[in-house]
Structure 1
Amino acid sequence: MVVLIVDGYNMIGAWEELQKLKDSDIGQARDRLIELMAEYQAFSGHRVIIVFDAYYVRGIASKMKAYNVEIIFTKEKETADECIEKLVKQVKDIRTQVYVATSDYAEQRTIFASGALRKSARELGMEIKNIKKEIDTTIKDHHKQKVHTKLTLDDETLRKFEKWRRGKL
């Protein structure tokens, strides 16, 4: 099993699209990061955990799940780095490879010592762009394929059957 732990605000600060959103509304930047990581999770099948520290969101620690992505907001006095280090120790075992997505050099050194590997914000961003391209290509290829049936039907009949199938008659 592969687990990817993402330093949420580190990605927001590193990716241009999310930086622009952050300038107007930090909530939108968080939501967009969650959407991007949900696509990543759906495509890769990896477990994805995003950690946001309490710097921008004051209050008690909370955990939630959206789109099959785990989202953690740390306690008020806890940094994302501290939370990530604890998570690495919790999920790392002989069957699990843990990656931490962060461009924080000090954090990278710490997670290496815990047995996890790192992905920089740049690397993860490129991986997400490649996944999007692959998805787009797959969708285009799917649309190009014509349904093959054993019966030869004219286009009008096929359109009628499609309407019936979708319940639009």
Structure 2
Amino acid sequence: MAELIRNPHKMIKLRIEIKSFMSENGKQQVQKSDIPLLPYLQAVVKETFGLHPAAPFLLPHQASSHMEINGCIVPGNAQILINVLASGRDSRIWKNPHEFLPERFLNENEGVDFKGRDFELIPFSAGRRICPGLPLAGRMVHQMLVTLVGNYEWKLENMKPEEKKFGITLQKAMPLKEIPTKL
């Protein structure tokens, strides 16, 4: 929501997609089965998970044996921390990595998902250590955004510079104070 409020034209674009889908299909609500039919909504969620993962580092991994990764020697039994926050902002992978650009997932990166198959975007990890909350997040974040953006106009009480508190999870240093108005 913070990124959409800071980028009102993107929130309007998302609201238009949601409202036009509902009117074209004669629906009062967007169902879980409708989410794949809303590409901009999916792009907003992917972009948000890439820029703002819940945890900046994945659970520690351990190298089973001595190996070389991208020219770096990793000794056997070494603990490896994967910085997901940095990978979502890597300029070698993403153009304009610090900007909120959901459109990047509409064209060349459309097939990239956050479910652990594409290593460019792994906010929930991958493989055996994937987050058990992934299925819930995959369903609920889309549904909450549809409800919040599709039914309310949002305005900030005050806009503060973006700061984060680092810990096991990332949090905004100053909570966002938004004022909803029913559409």
Task: Tell me which interval the TM-score lies in, with the shorter structure as reference length.
Answer: under 0.3
Q: Give 1 or 2: higher strand fraction.
A: 1
TM-score (normalised: structure 2): 0.26
Q: Give 1 or 2: higher helix fraction.
A: 1
**Rg: which structure is higher?**
1
TM-score (normalised: structure 1): 0.27
